[in-house]
Structure 1
Amino acid sequence: MVQKNSLADIRASVENYVGRKVRLKANKGRKKTVVKEGVIENAYPSIFVVKINGGYDTIRRVSYSYSDILTETIEVTICDEEQKIKIS
């Protein structure tokens, strides 16, 4: 589990999991949360991109900033066969 130290620490931990399957729990406001599964496709200096299978043979790419993790707007859980690791 990653401590809430800084954006640089969060960015480094997300970069380590590029290509891995993740579960995103996004807070959409007014008590609405959305849970999606996808793959971290790429990590850039200020954002990271998650590729989500949208159903009906469609693929969506959603970008989030590292500050979304810091402010707990989204919750990222790495889905590994052996264990689940939460980035926050």
Structure 2
Amino acid sequence: MPKNLAAIKKELDARIGKPLTVTSQIGRKKVLRRRGILRKTFPAVFIVELDQDESAVENASFSYTDVLTQNIELSFEDGHD
């Protein structure tokens, strides 16, 4: 992923509608992986529509700062991270 917030947003803008996996660090050795589709980007956050088979929540929002600080990791199914 790019090294600044504007570049991260620009890259995600180009991938709206693409399937992805969001990996979140939720504890010392705990990782949460959720699959979904990138739906919208806003100036400070982006929205992922989560797979209903895996999650009770329909949508989740994440900030570009989470990506920059590596609190979450995005893996797109086209092989480009």
TM-score normalised to the size of structure 1? 0.83
Q: In the aligned structure 2, how far is the partner of 1:47 from the partner of 1:28?
A: 19
For residue 66 of structure 1, report the CA deviation from its aligned partner.
0.1
Q: In the aligned structure 1, how far is the partner of 2:26 from the partner of 2:13?
A: 25
For residue 23 of structure 1, report the CA deviation from its aligned partner.
1.0
Matches within 5 A, 1:1-88: 2-4=1-3, 6-55=4-53, 60-80=58-78, 84-86=79-81
Q: Secondary structure at the match of 1:76?
A: strand
Aligned residue identity for 2:11: S
Deviations 1:34-83 (A, max 9, x none): 11110001000000000012328x55100000000000000001112xxx
Rg (Cα) greater in structure: 1
**Which consecutive segments of 4 or more residues in structure 1 shift more than 2 A?**
none
Q: CA RMSD in A?
A: 1.8
Q: How many residues of Structure 1 are paired with residues of Structure 2 in the alignment?
A: 81
Q: In the aligned structure 2, how far is the partner of 1:40 from the partner of 1:26?
A: 16
Unmatched 5+ stretches in structure 2: none
Q: Could you say which structure has the higher strand fraction?
A: 1
For residue 31 of structure 1, report the CA deviation from its aligned partner.
1.7
